[in-house]
């Protein structure tokens, strides 16, 4: 196949995909709100003293070295004014989670999540993921002119911003697939995961172990060798399946979302980690955004022949008498 013909074929295929892509739907709104709500729970239910506590070589207070100085905790004056930063971030995340004016709340959302991720003493994977996904969502949100991100799209996107949003959507899917693929593969190098006993120890961990009322169910079950191996290796298989589904068609992305909810729902029941689980489910919801026909410019309607005739002689009232002398 000649190179020019191949390029034309690929361009036509991309154009067809663009015609079926419009992020402005409730799927995107739900996913974004879940991510904001997850970070909201971190600062709303945890006092600044606990988030900024000294750990090992980390000094007491917000980390403000280098680019971290742009964090809200640092801009308000450090640890002594951390409560002000806390409520500022709560207000921003509440507004972003509500879905109001996505275009204008996109950058404040990214700044708020960045402030949490780089300043608190012990950020978990959820803070890092939400920061990266919020950055990747930024080109999409800046093209969103809706009043609420719950509303359906009514106006077409300009071709340039349409293509940018489509590229950002694919970047989110690739990033999410990489996270799950890397997580699953890296665990094969850990002895407890490789031999299938990791879940036995996780369930009994002093900090993240299962608590009541689920302890009475999961602890006895985990004493069975087949069950604990199934739980351990099953988690790895599910992570690999999610990574594959995220890059697939609409149907497979929805399958990936269901697997993601099951995986992190189980983690919530056994280990907690609410904010991390909600971030991952929210990101999977954004990635599962189904393709649908995007709004297009409406072509001007063609006038009927009678209307065209009337246009040349001015308006004609129904039932008007014929001009004098007409036969």
Q: Name, in order, each residue with C-beta under 8 angstroms of 110's C-beta and a sequence gap of 6 or more.
A: 131, 134, 135, 138
Predicted confidence band at 125 (pLDDT cuts at 50, 70, 90)?
Answer: confident
Give residue 326's pLDDT: 44
Quick one: tokens of 322?
């014929």
User: Is the pLDDT reported for residue 48 higher than 90?
Assistant: no
- Tens digit of each residue's pLDDT (9 = 90 or more) over 150-190: 988 878 888 888 888 899 999 999 999 999 999 999 999 99
3-state secondary structure at position 100: strand
Rg, Å, the chain Cα set: 27
Q: Could you write out the DSSP letters of every residue in 115-130?
A: HHHHHSSS--HHHHHH
CB under 8 Å, gap of 24 or more: what pairs does 297-306 form?
Answer: 297/156
Q: How far apart are CA 70 and CA 64, in angstroms?
A: 8
What number of other Cβ atoms are within 10 A of residue 114's Cβ? 20
Select from 182, 178, 177, 184 the least CA-distant residue to 288: 177
Select from 324, 318, 247 the least CA-distant residue to 288: 247
Ranges of each domain in the chain: 14-292
pTM of the model: 0.83
User: Is the pLDDT reported for residue 318 higher than 60?
Assistant: no
């Amino acid at each position: 196949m000649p190179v020019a013909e191949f390029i034309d074929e690929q361009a036509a295929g991309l154009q067809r995909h663009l015609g079926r892509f419009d992020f402005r739907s409730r799927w995107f709104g739900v996913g974004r709100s879940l991510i904001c709500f997850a970070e909201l729970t971190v600062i709303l239910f945890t006092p600044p003293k606990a988030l900024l506590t000294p750990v090992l070589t980390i000094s007491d207070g917000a980390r403000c070295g280098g680019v971290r100085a742009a964090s809200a905790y640092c801009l308000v004056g450090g640890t002594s004014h951390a409560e002000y930063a806390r409520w500022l971030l709560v207000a921003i995340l509440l507004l972003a989670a509500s879905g109001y004016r996505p275009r204008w709340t996109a950058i404040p959302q990214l700044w708020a999540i960045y402030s949490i991720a780089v300043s608190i003493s012990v950020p978990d994977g959820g803070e890092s993921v939400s920061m990266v996904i919020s950055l990747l969502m930024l080109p999409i949100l800046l093209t969103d002119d809706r009043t609420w991100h719950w509303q359906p799209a009514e106006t077409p996107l300009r071709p340039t911003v349409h293509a940018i949003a489509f590229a950002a959507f694919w970047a989110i899917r690739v990033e999410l697939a990489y996270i799950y693929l890397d997580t699953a593969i890296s665990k094969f190098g850990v002895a407890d995961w490789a031999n299938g006993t990791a879940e036995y120890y996780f369930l009994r961990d002093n900090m993240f172990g299962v608590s009541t009322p689920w302890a009475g169910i999961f602890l006895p079950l985990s004493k069975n060798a087949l069950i604990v191996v199934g739980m351990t290796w099953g988690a790895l298989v599910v992570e690999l399946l999610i990574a594959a589904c995220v890059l697939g068609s609409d149907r497979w992305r929805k399958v990936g979302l269901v697997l993601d909810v099951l995986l992190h729902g189980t983690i919530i029941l056994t280990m907690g980690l609410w904010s991390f689980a909600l971030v991952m489910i929210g990101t999977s919801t954004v990635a599962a955004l189904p393709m649908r026909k995007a709004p297009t410019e409406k072509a001007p309607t063609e006038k009927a022949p009678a209307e065209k005739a009337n246009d040349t002689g001015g308006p004609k009232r129904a039932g008007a008498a014929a001009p004098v002398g007409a036969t």
